[in-house]
Amino acid sequence: MKVYSVRFVECLVPNREIEKGGSLMKKSLMIFIALLVGFGFVFSSCVTTDTQVKPNNSNFVAPKIELEAFAIPQYDGYWYIAKSVKPTKGQAGDRGAFLPMTFTFKITNPNMYPINLEEIKYSVVFDEAFTVMTTADQLSNWIPAGMSDEVKVTTLVTVRSALLGMLLANAVEMKKRGWENWSTLEKWWKGVPEGTTPVTLTECGFMFTAGDVTMVYPYEVKVQ
């Protein structure tokens, strides 16, 4: 019996030591986790406080605007049908070919906060003197801080609308140059896709917002 009791005591002593050691390890682990959480909270608070910049008129930096590409997404040639001509199908009318144009801009945001491009106003000018259309595109294009983004706008002019412009707003310039309406229209409709007719964007206005700040920047570029 003595032998068994001695062996029993010898077996219990190591188990108690293990229990004490395990308890200490659990306490140490809990303290370590608490320290990690505390340091993480302090670090995240510091980062948020240091990097959060609110936009205002004094710290808003003008975005960089660049024309990256110009394209004619669809071309159906040059033609005009007067209303006196009976169409194969549909109703007769004074109608002409479409000339769609796509402009691709690269916008770079140098600010420490995101900005929103909300509107682009522009006029398209042929041969450096003839405004063929003026329009405004409503957008909502967010650009992250310190990054760039591409923005595309597409518009079009028709032979009919360009002809009316020649007869009204551009009549003086046409007479000054001694140009004839129909030959000029044909030259434009063939020259713009080929790159031989000068195209310019004028009277542009790019409107950006950030928080309560609204900024409009002028822009003008020779497309081709």
**Residues 91-137: pLDDT tens digits?**
999 999 999 999 999 999 999 999 999 999 999 999 999 999 999 99
Name beta bridge partners: 65. Answer: 107
* Tokens, residue 42: 């302090």
DSSP 3-state of 89: coil
Backbone φ, ψ for residue 136 (5° rounding): -140, 130
Distances (CA, A) of 66 to 80, 87, 125, 128, 204: 35, 44, 18, 20, 12
Q: What's the pLDDT at 13?
A: 47
When pLDDT is averaged across residues 5-30 and rounded to a whole number, the result is 54
Q: What's the pLDDT at 36?
A: 61
Tallying the residues shown for the chain, one arrives at 224
Domain map of the chain by residue range? 1-52, 64-222
When pLDDT is averaged across residues 204-215 and rounded to a whole number, the result is 97
Which parts of 109-162 are beta strand (E)?
115-126, 130-143, 148-158
Backbone φ, ψ for residue 149 (5° rounding): -150, 155
Whether residue 87 contacts residue 81, with contact meaning beta carbons closer than 8 Å, is answered with yes
Architecture of domain 64-222: Sandwich (2.60)
pLDDT tens-digit series, residues 124-182:
999 999 999 999 999 999 999 999 999 999 999 999 999 999 999 999 999 999 999 99
Reported as a pLDDT band with limits 50, 70 and 90, residue 186 is: very high
Rounded CA-CA distance 112/52 in Å is 8
Query: Model's pTM, two decimal places?
Result: 0.76
Distances (CA, A) of 184 to 97, 159, 162: 14, 11, 10
Res 30 pLDDT > 80: no
Q: What's the pLDDT at 46?
A: 42
When pLDDT is averaged across residues 29-44 and rounded to a whole number, the result is 57
